[in-house]
Amino acid sequence: MTLNIGTPPQHVRLQADTGSSSLIVTAKECTTCKRKSKEGGAYSSLNSSSMQKIGCGDDRCGSNTCALNQCKSTYCFPGTNACCSAMDPKSCGFFLQYGGDIDYDVEASGLMMTETFSKGDHIFQDITFYKTIHESGPWPSQVDGILGLGFPRLNCNPTCTEPAYLQMMNILGVEEKMFSMCMGDTTGWLELGSDGKESNLYVGKPVYVPVTGLVTGGTYYSVGLNGIRVGKEILGASISDSPYHAIVDSGTTLLLLQQSLWRGLVLYLQGRYCRLPGVCANDIKDTIFHPGVCLTKPPVDFPTITLTLVGGLSLELPPTIYFIHYDDPELGRHIYCLGIQGAGDERTVIGDTVLRGFHVIYDLSRHRVGFANPNRTTCGKVELLSGDQDFINRAELGFILGTSKSNRAIALSFGTICGASALLALILITVRASKAVRRVPLNNSVLQRGFGTFN
């Protein structure tokens, strides 16, 4: 999505991430940052009259936050032991770490500040955000920052502050804190302050499941998962009163299954669907279960996979959803990659492979997540991609601001974000495997894996 920051407005392109809670924007002076989006651009605080630094001695800079593993700076404010920025010792510093996988670990550090954000006639003053001056790891190069939409507890970096999207809803006068999101391959909508009903973002009635883990304060949108079902057989059904847990995360491209579920799914498919291309081989690295091995023809006869959530909700995923399509310029045809991978020792993550099949409602006031059938006319279709290498820069995500003072949401022509398929459109195909299967080298700067914060 695109958003305006500063006075006069500067355009920045942000990734909408329900697996984190911080608003971070890349600074122009960042020398370690990768190329940013064509539609936006890095933020220049020197060109903004509304920028305000938060001093290291300011009450808003958290005391006793200068532990080296949290602050990543040796500059501590005398008396309060607040975390001062290594780039500007007089300013309050921050350190953020995203990831969840040893091969995909990224970090950011810089200054905690306040600034004016705007879009159209809507102006949000004094919004706390993080100006990134240093980055490390495989950051996505198509965005200028991240809009975290998670619980407040994740927004301690190390100073704790209210997430920016909640600050915006407070300015709008929203009483019940909720937002909703739906996406296709190229279009979608994010709505602050509403479940999307008045905007016709979904059809039928949503089904809600409770968010788990709130006893400890709540971090991610984690839902109970009894297991997965293929056909009539349940794989990995809970054997105790404590089910599996799955994180609903728009910042992760794929459906990542924790190890026992992933192993069960692979064994099941290899035991019953070996006749299908890419399912069986002497080496697992030559099957679709290995990252980058894709089909050259549509996934015909593959079964529907169902996620069975606690609360009685079942999310059915046909192969048209859990296989991701993009164009192979060498063969002149579409390629079909399995949008499911193993999560290793970590929890299951319900990423964009699944989320593009539903309109999802994040209800913070009632501690629940809802799923509904999306209105494809509004949310966008899930279909084959054109293979255009500049595709991601044109994918549109609308943005709506809903308020509790009016039944009619305010629709804005907002910037861009895209679902899993559009992200994968940037992967280059360079190695030919066989007529039925091709090997695709993956680029982690495009394919987001577990893009949540760990504090």
Q: Whose CA is closest to 337, among 440, 434, 203?
A: 440
What are 87's two structure tokens?
């780039």
Return the pLDDT at 440.
53
Mean pLDDT of the residues in the chain: 80
Which of 11-25, 224-238, 363-377 comes out lowest in average pLDDT?
224-238
Instruction: Give the CA count within 13 Å in the CB-facing half-sphere of 43.
Output: 36
Per-residue DSSP letter, 254 = S
CATH number of this structure's domain 2-172: 2.40.70.10
Answer with the residue of higher pLDDT: 18 or 99.
Answer: 18
Which of 42-51, 108-117, 418-427 comes out lowest in average pLDDT?
418-427
Q: Is the pLDDT of residue 369 over 90?
A: yes
> Where do the CATH 2.40.70.10 domains begin and end in the chain?
2-172, 178-453
| CATH superfamily ID and name for 178-453 | Acid Proteases (2.40.70.10)
Which of 36-50, 189-203, 237-251, 318-332 comes out lowest in average pLDDT?
237-251
- Strands 348-350 and 244-248: what pairing? parallel
User: What pLDDT digit, counting tens, does each position of 139-196 carry?
Assistant: 777 789 999 999 999 999 999 999 999 999 999 888 889 999 998 877 788 988 899 9
Return the pLDDT at 41.
73
Return the pLDDT at 65.
94
SS3 category, 391? helix
Q: Is the pLDDT of residue 271 over 60?
A: yes
Q: Is the pLDDT of residue 420 over 90?
A: no
- Starting at the edge strand found earlier in the chain, the sheet holding 333-338 runs 323-328, 333-338, 293-295, 437-439
Answer with the residue of higher pLDDT: 112 or 356.
Answer: 112
Return the pLDDT at 47.
92
Q: Is the pLDDT of residue 415 over 60?
A: no
Return the pLDDT at 421.
30
Return the pLDDT at 186.
75
Euclidean distance between CA atoms 204 and 213, whole angstroms: 29
What are 72's two structure tokens?
């990543």
Q: Is the pLDDT of residue 424 over 50?
A: no
Q: Is the pLDDT of residue 264 over 50?
A: yes
Measure the CA angle with vertex 348, ends 346 and 349; round to 5°: 110
CA distances from 58 to 43, 82, 411, 444 (A): 23, 9, 37, 38
User: What pLDDT digit, counting tens, does each position of 212-241 carry?
Assistant: 876 445 789 999 998 899 988 888 654 444
SS3 category, 56? coil
Return the pLDDT at 137.
85
Return the pLDDT at 437.
60
What are 238's two structure tokens?
């809970």
Euclidean distance between CA atoms 56 and 61, whole angstroms: 6
Asked, as a colleague might, if the bond just before 8 is cis with ω within 30 of 0, I would say yes
Q: Is the pLDDT of residue 18 over 70?
A: yes
Euclidean distance between CA atoms 133 and 47, whole angstroms: 16
- The whole-number average pLDDT for the span 391-414 is 38
Q: Is the pLDDT of residue 198 over 50?
A: yes
* Tokens 């990252």 sit on residue: 291
Q: Is the pLDDT of residue 371 over 50?
A: yes
- The whole-number average pLDDT for the span 79-107 is 85
Q: Which residues pair with 194 in a beta bridge?
A: none
Burial level of 385, CB count in 10 A (0-12/13-18/19+)? buried
Q: Is the pLDDT of residue 253 over 60?
A: yes
Which of 31-40, 224-233, 350-359 comes out lowest in average pLDDT?
31-40
Return the pLDDT at 432.
29
Return the pLDDT at 138.
79
Contact status, residue 218 vs residue 412, Cβ threshold 8 Å: no
pLDDT range class, residue 129, cuts 50, 70, 90: very high
